[in-house]
């Protein structure tokens, strides 16, 4: 399980870098334009991912701050958000690298943002974190297409695997 989650942590950072690279090509107005996505704009979608990653990492580690609202705008400009994204992705990778198989199978007690208590194995929660990122990155990819980015970058896992190290 650990090797798979390490691959997913690496993929997460790789795919995020590709989405942020494409976002940087947009005019600010387009980046912020409400295109009817769940979080409105590319700006809202990318901020949501930062919010949720910080919520989960706080649950996992007991460290770090995050807003209570899932639609919070943590960073008002793409440059600051991209810098924070790189730091958070590195943090996630370090965290996963340090885990043992035993810890991955152990339960974690946590509360939702609404205060509801839950208990799940840590490995399953990490799988959720990466799946959630993939889900919303897919929305971000769709937003990039809607905004006229001719060919948003491929986010296929195999693309990362096939790249030379």
**CB contact set of 45 (below 8 Å; sequence gap of 6+):** 37, 38, 39, 136, 139, 140, 143
Domain count, the chain: 1
Decide if 19 is inside a domain: yes
Tell me which residue of 110, 120, 161 sits closest to 4, measured CA to CA: 161
Measured over the CA atoms of residue 153, residue 155, residue 157 and residue 160, the dihedral's sign is positive
Do residues 112 and 73 make contact, with C-beta atoms less than 8 angstroms apart? no
Tell me which residue of 89, 84, 156 sits closest to 129, measured CA to CA: 89
Say what percent of the chain tops pLDDT 90: 93
Do residues 122 and 101 make contact, with C-beta atoms less than 8 angstroms apart? no
Do residues 34 and 155 make contact, with C-beta atoms less than 8 angstroms apart? no
Decide if 20 is inside a domain: yes
Decide if 155 is inside a domain: yes
The average confidence (pLDDT) of the chain is 96
Which domain range does residue 135 map to?
A: 2-159
Tokens of 141: 């990819």
Q: What is the pLDDT of residue 8?
A: 98
Higher-confidence residue of 86 and 66: namely 86
- Please state which of the ranges 9-18, 21-30, 103-112, 156-165 shows the lowest mean pLDDT: 156-165
Residue 90 CB neighbours (<10 A): 12
Decide if 128 is inside a domain: yes
Decide if 165 is inside a domain: no
The enclosing domain of 30 has a CATH number of: 1.20.120.450
Q: What is the pLDDT of residue 149?
A: 81
Decide if 146 is inside a domain: yes
Q: What is the pLDDT of residue 102?
A: 98
Decide if 117 is inside a domain: yes
Decide if 164 is inside a domain: no
Q: For the segment 74-130, what is each residue's pLDDT rounded down to a tens digit?
A: 999 999 999 999 999 999 999 999 999 999 999 999 999 999 999 999 999 999 999
Stretch 20-36: mean pLDDT: 96
pTM (2 d.p.):
0.95
Kindly tell me if the per-residue pLDDT of 150 is higher than 70: no
Stretch 142-160: mean pLDDT: 90
28 band by pLDDT with thresholds 50, 70 and 90: very high
Cα angle 74, 78, 81 (rounded to 5 degrees) comes to 40
């Amino acid at each position: 399980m650990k090797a798979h989650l390490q691959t997913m942590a690496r993929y997460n950072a790789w795919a995020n870098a590709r989405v942020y690279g494409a976002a940087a090509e947009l005019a600010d107005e387009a980046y912020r334009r409400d295109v009817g996505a769940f979080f409105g704009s590319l700006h809202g979608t990318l901020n949501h991912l930062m919010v949720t990653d910080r919520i989960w990492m706080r649950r996992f580690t007991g460290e770090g701050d995050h807003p209570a609202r899932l639609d919070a705008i943590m960073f008002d400009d793409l440059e600051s958000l991209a810098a924070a994204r790189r730091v958070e992705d590195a943090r996630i990778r370090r965290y996963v690298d340090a885990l043992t198989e035993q810890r991955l199978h152990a339960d974690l007690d946590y509360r939702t943002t609404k205060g509801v208590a839950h208990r799940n194995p840590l490995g399953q929660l990490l799988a959720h974190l990466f799946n959630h990122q993939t889900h919303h990155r897919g929305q971000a990819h769709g937003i990039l297409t809607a905004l006229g980015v001719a060919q948003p970058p491929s986010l296929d896992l195999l693309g990362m695997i096939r790249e030379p190290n």
